[in-house]
Structure 1
């Protein structure tokens, strides 16, 4: 994700060079001539393409001069053993459309241009455009049509797939990068995907872990695709985090993921597993008819806003008395989640607001669902991970880049964490 920062720095530097090379009076002259001749600004036959062609050909001629060691027509080149040998026409794709350029040749065929390498058919940020479209959920078929309609570029689906494959090594680096030693809070949640495995399309779950560092910044720690939940799977995930440098997590907030509490106890024995209260409420409401929703929500509020465990138990008993006969399923949801819910009651109000819900991760998963829903299924896990990673990279750049996004009310919550977990936070 550091690539986004480098790209912005590169674009800024390029803009400064262009501004120095083309002062306003020169640009005004070019625009006036284009208007007079009826030349459009963009498009295949537009002014921008003509300028691109001129700049590329000038750069290629400069590269040839550097390669040979003498200017065109310079007598010092006589007897040098190599010389210019005309040009060849090549079509390259750019964001403004295809451009036909004349590439200089040398007699010894040793010239290797850098600005437009041999066999390269795309220049500029066209690859970035493909990655951007892909990360927003467009299929290879959609991208192929978009590039043809908007840029006049003929890009096959195989080419688009190859361009997106450049992030494979980036994914491996991201999945193995070092992490902080301590995360006060970690949110865990998953989204369902349809993936082909051994010729059969089945539902798998991509689990995402978001860590909140001591500065209150949220970071995507990793993403793992698995057929189903279980203690063995979660032990592997948590061991991966530990191997990457995480030695302590104070609170793990999740939605009743099977096997996760046991795995947390095994890998991070001092951590507290806190179920997402919003998920408990939502799951309980599945059993409630529309007419009773307001009354049931009000009754449940007495449980999760209780100041003490004893008060919460009284709230649950009152809820059972009032609605247990009609909605036993709603009461059972609370009883099954009780062991992972009650740690919440020991937290002060400022900390409860932060661990009350996994919305911090659900909002990211909502964005990931938007970009995955266009696909009926993925051909394999690697294809699914590629899209998820590009989506996360895109979301991260919009939400604060590598520094992550902040947590509202973090300073007050941090002080509560220091009191609740003495000696476990390092600064």
Structure 2
């Protein structure tokens, strides 16, 4: 019988680095990841290689090569297999949290009988031409991902001077019918000056009760120190804000307000003129001058565009709250445009699923995307200097 010669992977990785320096980083990483995956498989099996034990839950079934693009270049790893196929090493998880959430949404559509040719094509790329997928497999994968995402959504909050609120709609299957469900999102600028994604939820609409529950959940997690809320105009949100955070001033998004103004004017050339007048008001050096410019504009609008004047007399002052805050902060606080990147990325990802099979699937993908964005912001540069 041939003798098995055991080598120490850590020493082998050291040797590669000593011989090749940083040029050997890729090979060293490959060695260590392969060894970590084997150790994880042994823990999953409940038995070491060649070990006989009553606690064994499955059997090793060789290795399968997998090439991945890493930060040190393209590497081919040896992925340990088990007979049941229920194991995959965490170091080589298939994609980011967002990718996993997209795949799960598609998988749920498939096992619930709402598969389309697009779903089948994607799943074949993920699982191979012979699709073998059960509800139990999808449920296990979803539970594993949901645990971490739930912890992220419920993590404690702190001092957040500036709070931004926004919503978008996604198509979700509810009780056998397709509904447009509201995705409520909160982003804040912390006292450190960093942007953070504070939370998200999926609701049936933007009604006051849904916004109120969402805001109350933020406060229950420790959110405090809010000095300004920046949001678009919506009756449900306004009522919820007054009920939950009545003492906090509100800044109406200037960008959306300017777009809304166009609805009260029919001639295209007049729309451009009014948009320019509004920009002049918004760019005034202080509140007093902004209010004087608004007064002048209203006098002209009452003659030429009476409906616009009636609307603007109430709406435009709601967008001037930002003048009560430091001039250096205003450019970041006057609109919700900072959330547009989030909405673009959400659209790009949710377009793949098209229709979510259930609200949990929608919340999973939204949470995964926002958690990754929050990680990026947390480790990135200061967004707004709040030091006096």
Which TM-score applies when normalising by structure 2? 0.71
For residue 211 of structure 1, the aligned residue among 158, 176, 188 is 188
Equivalent residues in 2 for 1:108-257, closer than 5 Å: 119-124=84-89, 125=91, 127-129=93-95, 131-135=97-101, 139-140=106-107, 141=119, 143-147=122-126, 156=133, 159=137, 162-180=140-158, 182-257=159-234
In structure 2, what is the Cα distance between the partners aligned to 1:203 and 1:334? Answer: 30
* Structure 1: gaps of 5 or more residues: 1-14, 27-47, 69-81, 102-114, 416-427
Q: Note the C-alpha offset of 1:301.
A: 2.1
Equivalent residues in 2 for 1:5-404, closer than 5 Å: 19-20=13-14, 63-64=48-49, 67=51, 90=61, 95-96=66-67, 119-124=84-89, 125=91, 127-129=93-95, 131-135=97-101, 139-140=106-107, 141=119, 143-147=122-126, 156=133, 159=137, 162-180=140-158, 182-288=159-265, 289-323=267-301, 327-328=305-306, 330-338=308-316, 340-397=318-375, 399-400=376-377, 402-403=378-379
In structure 2, what is the Cα distance between the partners aligned to 1:129 and 1:365? Answer: 21
In structure 2, what is the Cα distance between the partners aligned to 1:261 and 1:147? Answer: 44
Q: Note the C-alpha offset of 1:157.
A: 7.6
For residue 383 of structure 2, the aligned residue among 395, 407, 425 is 407
Checking the alignment, whether the CA contact within 8 Å between 1:178 and 1:244 is kept in structure 2 is yes
In structure 1, what is the Cα distance between the partners aligned to 2:142 and 2:63? Answer: 19
Checking the alignment, whether the CA contact within 8 Å between 2:64 and 2:78 is kept in structure 1 is no
3-state SS of paired residue (2:370)? helix
Q: Alpha-carbon deviations, 1:96-144, whole Å to 9, x = none?
A: 49x999xxxxxxxxxxxxx766634443355332745345789443542
In structure 2, what is the Cα distance between the partners aligned to 1:131 and 1:155? Answer: 22
3-state SS of paired residue (1:270)? coil
Relative to structure 1, the CA distance from residue 17 to residue 394 in structure 2 (aligned partners, 3 Å threshold; closer, same or farther) is farther
Q: Alpha-carbon deviations, 1:143-172, whole Å to 9, x = none?
A: 4233357xx896648546643442212222
3-state SS of paired residue (2:331)? helix
Q: Alpha-carbon deviations, 1:204-247, whole Å to 9, x = none?
A: 21010011111111111110222222333332222211111123
Q: Note the C-alpha offset of 1:56.
A: 5.5
Q: Note the C-alpha offset of 1:187.
A: 0.4
Q: Note the C-alpha offset of 1:88.
A: 7.4
Checking the alignment, whether the CA contact within 8 Å between 1:216 and 1:407 is kept in structure 2 is yes
Specify the alignment match of 2:112 in structure 1: none
Task: Point out the structure with max Rg over C-alpha.
Answer: 1
* Structure 2: gaps of 5 or more residues: 1-8, 21-29, 69-76, 108-118
In structure 2, what is the Cα distance between the partners aligned to 1:93 and 1:166? Answer: 23
Checking the alignment, whether the CA contact within 8 Å between 1:189 and 1:362 is kept in structure 2 is no
Which TM-score applies when normalising by structure 1? 0.65
